[in-house]
């Protein structure tokens, strides 16, 4: 899409209500613990919709990318072990390309996203591709950039490995 919505990890804004959810909801967050469950939950039709853009073939392809170490998931768990939110995407160099997210309880995907951003920042990632604008992403510090700017950013940062990353 043009413009492209991106988040520079250093510009992430953890708003007060999300900070409160992180502190009080008791969610646990993991990386790459159950990639398949996350992508399948993301593929479930949203409220008011009957279809999804995440096809069976795409699920298989992303699962292969996960096995190869390119696709990653963030899982959000309730204390009883129930998966209640998450997201997945592709890491190339110092860029994380977010693909989709889901939430079954209040703020679950937001908690997962905030946790991911903090880890990506610590690991030295330079850019998170959010693709499409949403009020929620903009409130967390995302912004729109032109197609030309996006191309320049991914050319620069996809070729540069992050300082570190530990997805497990």
pLDDT digits (tens, 9 = 90+) for 62-107: 999 999 999 999 999 999 999 999 999 999 999 999 999 999 999 9
135-155: per-residue pLDDT in tens?
Answer: 889 999 999 999 999 999 999
Percent of the chain predicted with pLDDT > 70: 99
User: What is the per-residue burial (b if ≥16 Cβ within 10 Å, else e) of 89-117?
Assistant: bbbebbbbbbbbbbbeeebbbbbbbbbbb
Confidence at residue 15, expressed as pLDDT on a 0 to 100 scale? 86
As a whole number, the mean pLDDT across the chain is 93
Confidence at residue 53, expressed as pLDDT on a 0 to 100 scale? 84
In the three-class reduction of DSSP (H, G, I as helix; E, B as strand; rest coil), residue 142 is classed as coil
d(Cα 103, Cα 38) in Å, to the nearest integer? Answer: 10
Mean pLDDT score, 116-127: 95
Of the segments 18-22, 44-48, 54-58, which one has the largest average pLDDT value? Answer: 54-58
Q: Which pLDDT band holds residue 168 (cuts at 50, 70, 90)? A: low
Q: Which residue has the higher pLDDT, 50 or 104?
A: 104
Confidence at residue 45, expressed as pLDDT on a 0 to 100 scale? 82
DSSP state, residue 94: T
Whether the CB-CB separation of 75 and 86 falls below 8 Å is answered with yes
């Amino acid at each position: 899409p043009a413009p492209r919505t991106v988040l520079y990890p250093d510009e992430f804004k953890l708003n007060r209500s999300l900070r409160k959810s992180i502190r009080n909801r008791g969610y646990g967050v993991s990386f790459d613990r159950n990639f398949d469950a996350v992508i399948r939950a993301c593929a479930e039709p949203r409220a008011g919709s009957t279809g999804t853009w995440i096809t069976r073939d795409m699920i298989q392809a992303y699962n292969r990318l996960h096995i190869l170490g390119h696709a990653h998931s963030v899982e959000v768990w309730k204390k009883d072990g129930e998966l209640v939110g998450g997201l997945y995407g592709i890491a190339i160099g110092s860029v994380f390309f977010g693909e989709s997210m889901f939430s079954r309880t209040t703020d679950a995907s937001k908690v997962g996203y905030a946790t991911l951003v903090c880890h990506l920042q610590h690991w030295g990632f330079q850019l998170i591709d959010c693709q499409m604008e949403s009020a929620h992403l903009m409130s967390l510090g995302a912004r729109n950039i032109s197609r030309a700017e996006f191309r320049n950013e991914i050319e620069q940062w996809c070729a540069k490995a992050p300082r570190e990353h530990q997805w497990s």
